[in-house]
């Protein structure tokens, strides 16, 4: 539910009340479909006539359609309502250093079309290419009513201006993605930090829907944390809250892209694992071992394949990564005591090896007696892209209060 500020209270208008009731009914249809008008009235406490008016409006806007006939022991059989998945499309954009994925999704988070482009190092070049690809995707589906664009980015976003403030692993500062995308498409654009988007997706429409205390930890080139506390996304005054990936563990540690040293992500990210592996094999070759030194790796997927193939050094790298992930997760548990911590990223492919070490370290270091579950998300469900869709859908399905 949205937060109501009592420091500057305003009386809700009748129009505001109607909008709230409309969002509540629409969201209930989304979560409980198929559902009858009578069940909507019982669940919301609204008059049946009010529910009927709202449903008629939603059907007129093609958000909702009637489906099968419900079964009742007696009386008139109701027509069940469901979302009209043919009505709307959402553009989701997941930006990562190695590449950017653009999808067309429906209201049930099914991806109907997809295109990938390189993430150009220069923001101006990237934005030009991105706008072209999004425009082409929209033109390829003239029958769809597009509801908006959600953008997930590995950096911090100023919530008020929706501008990217800083993305260390992209090397970007003060970049405006929103304005050119909106100018090109004439669609509303929502931009959010990747970890925040993943957290929103899980409490909004994922298996942990309704969870009020959750942290999403995204493990990729860097480490991000999206925090849901008391049912609300924690952004801070400027949108910079949650940068636990840049908490320094050691002031004399490895250099981090943020400009500091020894940050959590400098030890436990994919990039850190690759650097450590390449450093280890380089030293092995320099020591004049008889066996030829393994080739350097450039991707985290290659590192996973090496570990799965029995490469000893790769296995040690993952053990080290697991140890530092555990240290950081224990820090989150001690600080915030969430109900659930979800892990997002390729590292979940080797969670069978990672998890025992993480659990041991957390047990040793988290002394708050919090009963936090640590859950890896299946990477095939594409949580970052689901997060981009959630950014758009919550604007329609969640009551928006200005009070």
- CATH number, residue 175: 3.30.420.40
- 196 with 258, same domain: the answer is no
Say whether pLDDT at 190 is over 90.
Answer: yes
- 377 with 232, same domain: the answer is yes
Answer whether residue 70 is part of any domain: yes
- 62 with 129, same domain: the answer is no
- 184 with 220, same domain: the answer is no
Categorize the per-residue pLDDT at 18 as very low, low, confident or very high, splitting at 50, 70 and 90: confident
Chosen domain end from 61, 83, 105? 83
- 33 with 174, same domain: the answer is no
- 257 with 365, same domain: the answer is yes
Answer whether residue 6 is part of any domain: no
CATH code: domain of residue 44: 1.10.10.10
Number of domains in the chain: 3
- 44 with 95, same domain: the answer is no
d(CA 248, CA 304): 26
Q: Report the pLDDT averaged over residues 68-72.
A: 64
Residues ≥6 apart with Cβ < 8 Å to 90: 104, 105, 106, 107, 146, 147, 148, 149, 150, 388, 389, 392, 393
- 35 with 96, same domain: the answer is no
Which domain does 148 fall in, by range?
88-204+384-397
Q: Report the pLDDT averaged over residues 103-112.
A: 90
d(CA 206, CA 329): 21
- 169 with 239, same domain: the answer is no
CB 367 within 8 A of CB 262: no
Task: Tell me how long the chain is.
Answer: 403
- 95 with 185, same domain: the answer is yes
Q: Report the pLDDT averaged over residues 299-319.
A: 95
Say whether pLDDT at 44 is over 50.
Answer: yes
Answer whether residue 344 is part of any domain: yes
Categorize the per-residue pLDDT at 402 as very low, low, confident or very high, splitting at 50, 70 and 90: very low
Answer whether residue 9 is part of any domain: no
Answer whether residue 1 is part of any domain: no
Chosen domain end from 33, 48, 83? 83
Say whether pLDDT at 183 is over 60.
Answer: yes
Answer whether residue 58 is part of any domain: yes
Residue that wins the pLDDT comparison between 288 and 41: 41
Chosen domain end from 44, 63, 83? 83
pLDDT of 322 reads 98
- 70 with 105, same domain: the answer is no
Answer whether residue 255 is part of any domain: yes
Say whether pLDDT at 179 is over 70.
Answer: yes
pTM of the full structure: 0.85
d(CA 317, CA 276): 7
Answer whether residue 4 is part of any domain: no
Say whether pLDDT at 192 is over 70.
Answer: yes
Say whether pLDDT at 75 is over 70.
Answer: no
Categorize the per-residue pLDDT at 316 as very low, low, confident or very high, splitting at 50, 70 and 90: very high
Q: Report the pLDDT averaged over residues 356-365.
A: 96
- 360 with 240, same domain: the answer is yes
What rounded mean pLDDT belongs to the chain?
88
Q: Report the pLDDT averaged over residues 160-188.
A: 93
């Amino acid at each position: 539910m949205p937060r109501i500020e009592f420091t500057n209270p305003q009386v809700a208008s009748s129009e505001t009340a109607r909008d709230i009731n409309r969002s509540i009914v629409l969201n209930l249809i989304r979560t409980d479909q198929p559902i009858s008008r009578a069940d909507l009235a019982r669940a919301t406490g609204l008059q049946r006539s009010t529910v009927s008016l709202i449903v008629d409006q939603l059907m007129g806007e093609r958000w909702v359609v009637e489906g099968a006939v419900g079964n009742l022991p007696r009386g008139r059989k109701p027509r069940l309502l469901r979302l009209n998945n043919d009505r709307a499309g959402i553009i989701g954009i997941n930006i990562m250093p190695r590449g950017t994925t653009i999808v067309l999704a429906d209201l049930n988070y099914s991806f109907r079309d997809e295109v990938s482009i390189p993430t150009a190092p220069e923001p101006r070049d990237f934005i030009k290419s991105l706008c072209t690809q999004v425009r082409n995707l929209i033109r390829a589906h003239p029958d769809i009513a597009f509801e908006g664009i959600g953008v997930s980015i590995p950096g911090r976003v100023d919530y008020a201006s929706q501008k990217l403030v800083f993305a260390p692993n992209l090397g970007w500062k003060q970049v405006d993605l929103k304005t050119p995308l909106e100018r090109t498409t004439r669609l509303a654009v929502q931009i959010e930090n990747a970890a925040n988007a993943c957290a929103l997706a899980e409490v909004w429409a994922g298996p942990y829907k309704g969870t009020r205390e959750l942290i999403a930890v995204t493990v990729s080139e860097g480490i991000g944390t999206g925090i849901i506390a008391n049912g609300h996304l924690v952004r801070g005054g400027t949108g910079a809250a949650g940068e636990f990936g840049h908490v320094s563990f050691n002031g004399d540690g490895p250099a981090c892209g943020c400009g500091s040293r020894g940050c959590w992500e400098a030890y436990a990210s994919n990039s850190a694992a690759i650097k450590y592996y390449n450093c280890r094999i380089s030293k092995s070759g320099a020591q004049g071992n008889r066996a030829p030194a393994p080739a350097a790796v450039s991707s985290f997927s290659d590192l996973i394949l090496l570990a799965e193939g029995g490469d000893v050094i790769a296995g040690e790298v993952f053990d080290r990564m697991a140890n530092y992930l555990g240290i950081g997760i224990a820090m989150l548990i001690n600080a915030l005591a969430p109900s659930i911590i979800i892990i997002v990223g390729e590292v979940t492919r080797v969670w069978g090896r990672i998890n025992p070490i993480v659990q041991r370290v957390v047990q040793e270091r988290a002394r708050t007696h919090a009963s936090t579950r640590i859950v890896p998300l299946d990477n095939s469900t594409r949580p970052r892209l689901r997060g981009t869709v959630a950014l758009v859908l919550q604007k329609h399905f969640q009551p928006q209060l200005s009070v």
